[in-house]
Amino acid sequence: MTDSDTPSAHPTATSAGVLRQLGRRKSIGSMVADARTDADARTDAEARIDADAEGAGRLRRTFGVFQLTMISVGATLGTGILVILGEAVPVAGPAVWLAFVLAGVTALLSAVSYAEMAGMVPVSGSSYSYSYATLGEGVAWVCGWCLVLEYAVSVAAVAVGAADYVNETLRVFGLELPASLTTGPGVADNPGGVINVSALVVVALATVLLMRGAKESGIVNTILVFVKLGILVFFAIVAFTAFRAGNFAPMLPMGAAGVTAAASSVFFSYIGFDAASTAGEEAKNPRRDLPRAIILSMLIVTSMYVLVAVAAIGARQWQWFSGAKAPLVQIVEEITGSNLAVLLFAVAAVLAIFSVVITVLYGQSRILLTMARDGMVPKVFGVVSRRTGTPLAGTLIVGGLVAITAALIPLGELADATSIGTLFAFFLVNLAVIYLRVKRPDLERSFKVPFGPVIPALGALACALLMVNLGGTTWAVFGVWMAVGALVYFAYSRRHSVVGAMDESTYRTTLNP
């Protein structure tokens, strides 16, 4: 036996070998091949990988540009306004609309990078897949782990906000949920909280709907998107009848720092286009439609956020929002004095929140599906039902864990944890675009970010700026999450990596031809 044949010389047993593992990349061609519905078009090796990692069936291509845009808008619109506005206004003051603009510009800079990557890598997995193709397995794992945090926690954060609107609906009929059933334990303004029943039910219903099929979920989501557009326009009309320009003075009571801090917190409400990019394998023409859907949805969402934020501040002084529960429905009630208007708005708000939960939970299950194919997480997340064309077991597991989280953890902590995971994932995508422009200028791009690497660089810097403005507790939670992710990778993922297995086979063939 030669020295090169000994276990100590094996590349996986050395620090150099570990670095090589972290840097191995999955080719864009193999990713596209994995997503094809025509199994006969694949090589034998690719077919074996799919048979081993994917399981019983394949995702079905049912989405056009309209449906993809609705997924993106559905996962985004309503979250920041209906759920987090009451927490953002006391931080930014009347300039809260500027916080939404800042967060929106940051998201748009990253959205165009997503659009370029989605056109080149039209598969599920979002920024995880993009990173795997460009920056290597180690960065891809970090990105995927951030996406797990981003999606799961954002679903929980949005669902938590449903309790206030459910209570507003019940109050019209003289009813109300007891305090013990409206929040989880440890909430300062409700020390008697035990469990958020509304959040639990919303996530459970969304999980059941997603398990029935992507097409059915898409139809429901499209209907709910138009419902939420309608109620936000209705709110703006009502609020502008009580508009007072004096409510905007002083514009920056907390200074510019307040605006950036609020923008950092509300950034999680812009993850919708990320959810659209997870539908790459269910899009009819992903190279053409994904970039269009991503950019169109960002324009719609940012416009609506700014409109409603300006209308809300114009109707009520910014101090009024401190501690306000379901502030938009309260404004409607105070201005109109109509129980019917309150009932319609509160019910529509619950439906709007449900739309966000559906689409973000959908994105979470598809990211885990892609990671399971690559061996990064257990295979159960990658098993697709032949009957429904959906990852049933993965959706059920994710839905159950998210429901428990939403039922027990308060909103503020969830929102900040979501923002930091989102921002870091977007940061990596911007770097990936710059990397591919330099290393692979020959790749086909159905959409190209204008002004070369300047826009992606600005996107990365903007994400870094907002991350810095998040609190120490949020960074501590993020650090713990990353540490857990490192343990999972080295204990499980790198040993089960499909790309790693192919790489190892190539290495052994080289040693013993």
Model confidence pLDDT, tens digit, residues 450-506: 887 899 999 999 889 888 877 787 888 888 888 999 999 988 988 888 877 665 544
Q: Mean pLDDT of all residues in the chain?
A: 78
In a domain, 268, yes or no: yes
47 pLDDT higher than 50: no
* Residue range 30-57: mean pLDDT, rounded: 45
Nearest CA to 45 among 331, 77, 316, 53? Answer: 53
Any domain includes 304: yes
Q: Average pLDDT for residues 15-39, to the nearest whole number?
A: 65
Average pLDDT over residues 181-189: 67
Whether 192 is covered by a domain: the verdict is yes
Nearest to 310 by CA among 263, 267, 247, 253: 247
Asked if the structure places residue 5 within a domain, the reply is: no
Residue 361 has a pLDDT of: 84
Residue 94 is predicted with a pLDDT of 93
Band (pLDDT 50/70/90 cuts) for residue 166 is confident
**Average of pLDDT values for 116-141?**
79
Q: Which residues contact 48 (CB under 8 A, 6 or more apart)?
A: none
For residue 256, pLDDT over 80 is answered with: yes
Share of the chain above pLDDT 70, in %: 79
Tell me phi and psi for residue 187, to 5 degrees: -90, 125
- pLDDT: is 44 or 319 the higher one? 319
CA distance 369 to 492: 16
Give CA–CA dist 259/280, Å, rounded.
35
- Asked if residue 6 is part of any domain, the answer here is no
| Inter-residue contact 144 to 415 (CB < 8 Å) | no
Residue 47 host element (H or E)? helix 44-53
**Ramachandran class of 157: left when φ > 0, alpha when ψ lies in -120 to 50, beta otherwise:** alpha
Predicted pLDDT of residue 186: 61
DSSP state letter for 386: T
15-29, 307-321, 385-399, 420-434: which is most confident? 307-321
Where do we find the tokens 């809260």?
96
pLDDT of residue 33: 63
Give the pLDDT score at 6. Answer: 36
Inside any domain, residue 2: no
Residue 72 to residue 102: CA distance in whole angstroms: 19
pLDDT surpasses 90 at 243: yes
300 found inside a domain: yes
Q: What is the model's pLDDT at position 458? A: 93
Burial tier of 118 (Cβ tally within 10 Å: 0-12, 13-18, 19+): buried
Reported as a pLDDT band with limits 50, 70 and 90, residue 247 is very high
For the chain, the domain total comes to: 1
Q: Look at the block and give the residue holding tokens 């990211």.
A: 367
Q: What is the pLDDT of residue 413?
A: 58
CA distance 77 to 157: 14
Q: What is the pLDDT of residues 394-409, one digit of tens each?
A: 888 988 888 888 787 7
| Dihedral Cα 198, 201, 206, 208, nearest 10 deg | 180
Does the pLDDT of residue 393 top 90, yes or no? Answer: no
**Res 54: pLDDT:** 39
**Domain span including residue 294:** 12-511
Q: How far apart are CA 158 and CA 150, in angstroms?
A: 12
Choose between 167 and 191: higher pLDDT. Answer: 167
The reported pLDDT for the residue numbered 27 is: 72
> What would the DSSP string read from start to end of 292-334?
HHHHHHHHHHHHHHHHHHHHHHHHS-GGGGTT-SSHHHHHHHH
- The predicted pLDDT at position 53 comes to 37
Q: What is the pLDDT of residues 54-88, one digit of tens each?
A: 344 456 677 788 888 888 887 777 666 776 788 88
How buried is 378 (Cβ within 10 angstroms: 0-12 exposed, 13-18 middle, 19+ buried)?
A: middle
Largest CA distance in the chain: 88
Q: Convert the pLDDT of each residue in 298-349 to its tens digit.
A: 888 888 888 999 999 999 999 998 877 778 888 988 999 888 888 888 888 8
Determine whether 272 is exposed, middle or buried from the number of CB atoms within 10 Å of its CB (0-12, 13-18, 19+).
buried
Task: Specify the CATH number for the domain of residue 383.
Answer: 1.20.1740.10
Residue 1 belongs to some domain of the structure: no
- Is-contact 165 349, C-beta < 8 A? yes
* Helix/strand/coil percent split, the chain, to 5: 75, 0, 20
pLDDT at 236: 93
> Could you tell me the pLDDT band of residue 43, with boundaries at 50, 70 and 90?
very low
The mean per-residue pLDDT over the stretch 260-289 comes to: 75
What is the average per-residue pLDDT within 181-205? 75
User: Are the C-beta atoms of residues 385 and 213 closer than 8 Å to each other?
Assistant: no
Stronger pLDDT, 183 or 125, i.e. the higher one: 183
Q: What is the pLDDT of residue 335?
A: 93
